Amino acid sequence: MRIISRFVATLFLIQLTQVVCNAQLMETFEHHSEYGASVGVGHYFGDLNTAGSLKRPKFSASAFFRMQFNNYVGMRVNGSYAFLAYSDTYSSNLVQRTRNLSFNSDVWEISVSGDFNFFRFYPEIEGYRFTPYVSLGVGVLFFDPYAYLNGRKVFLRSIGTEGQGSTAYPGKKKYSNMAMTIPLCFGMKYNISDRLNLFGEVTYHFTNTDYLDDVSGTYAPDAFTKADIGSKLQDRSYEIGPAIGIKGRQRGNSSQKDAYATFQLGVSVNIMSYKCPKF
């Protein structure tokens, strides 16, 4: 009985020592900032992917710097890249498959976000090394959609596939290759040493443009002559059947903006940190 009592007392003292040590560490520890990088996949949602399909994920990557105000709240500057692409041929909708449009685009984004940790986060302190988090920000993205015609890469914005910039449509201006974005992120991170963390996050990027895919309004075949390359790219239904791109017919849905999502895994490094020596 005495041995059991001593064993329980020893366990209690070990636990108490750990609690006291952690309390002292938490009082003196300053986790000022963090930087990291991640890679993963991205997926586009818009006029060519109206059903929200996840059939064609593409490469994406990010890098960030985060300033921690306390153990819960921080602010990050994030730079990211995503290759987005989709085609009407992937759709189960007969009208979209008949339309037969496609696009590719390199999308570069820079944003500033506020981060919130759901749990208190102290690197290398047991019980505080893991937290889910949420992030919301605002930024700008740069894009330039293109397609391939007979193996040739053609940038679509400069052509004005819906009559933008054509004298036949003086009211249609070419859309900008820059747009505003609102990234909403949900993530989790786990500290593996005093310096390193592992994390994973899913980010949905809302945008204020409907032209990530170069599709938004109506057909404008009279903006081109038959010799123009634009006449072959503004309506590609002729490649699989009768052409459907008559003037004024709906080509896309301008009432909904395009968006994309990314899922990435990464590593981050804690910097400007301090804690009391172990004893």
pLDDT at 25: 47
Least confident window among 82-86, 152-156, 190-194: 190-194
* Buried/exposed code over 120-147 (b: 16+ C-beta within 10 A; e: otherwise): ebbbbbeebbebebebebebebebebbb
In a domain, 22, yes or no: no
Rounded Cα distance between 108 and 156, Å, is 18
In a domain, 18, yes or no: no
The mean pLDDT of 35-42, rounded to a whole number, is 98
Per-residue model confidence as pLDDT tens digits over 124-153: 888 889 999 999 999 999 999 999 999 999
Indicate whether 181 pLDDT > 60: yes
The conformation of residue 272, written as its DSSP 8-state character, comes to S
189 is in which domain, residue-wise? 31-271
Q: Which helix (H) or strand (E) holds 22?
A: helix 2-28
* Buried/exposed code over 155-183 (b: 16+ C-beta within 10 A; e: otherwise): ebbebbbbbbebeebeebeebebebebbb
In a domain, 12, yes or no: no
CATH number at residue 245: 2.40.160.20
The mean pLDDT of 229-233, rounded to a whole number, is 95
The mean pLDDT of 185-214, rounded to a whole number, is 96
In a domain, 258, yes or no: yes
Q: Which amino acid is at 278?
A: K
Give how many domains the chain has, as a whole number.
1
Query: What six digits make up the tokens of 26?
Result: 């938490």
pLDDT at 12: 39
In a domain, 23, yes or no: no
**DSSP strand pairing (33-45 vs 73-87):** unpaired
Percent of the chain with pLDDT over 70: 86
In a domain, 2, yes or no: no
Average pLDDT over the chain reads: 89
Cα–Cα distance list, 98 to 39, 49, 154, 162 (Å): 35, 14, 21, 18
pTM of the model: 0.87
Cα-flanking dihedrals φ and ψ of residue 93, to 5°? -85, 125
In a domain, 19, yes or no: no
In a domain, 230, yes or no: yes
Instruction: Decide if 84 contacts 59 (C-beta within 8 A).
Output: no
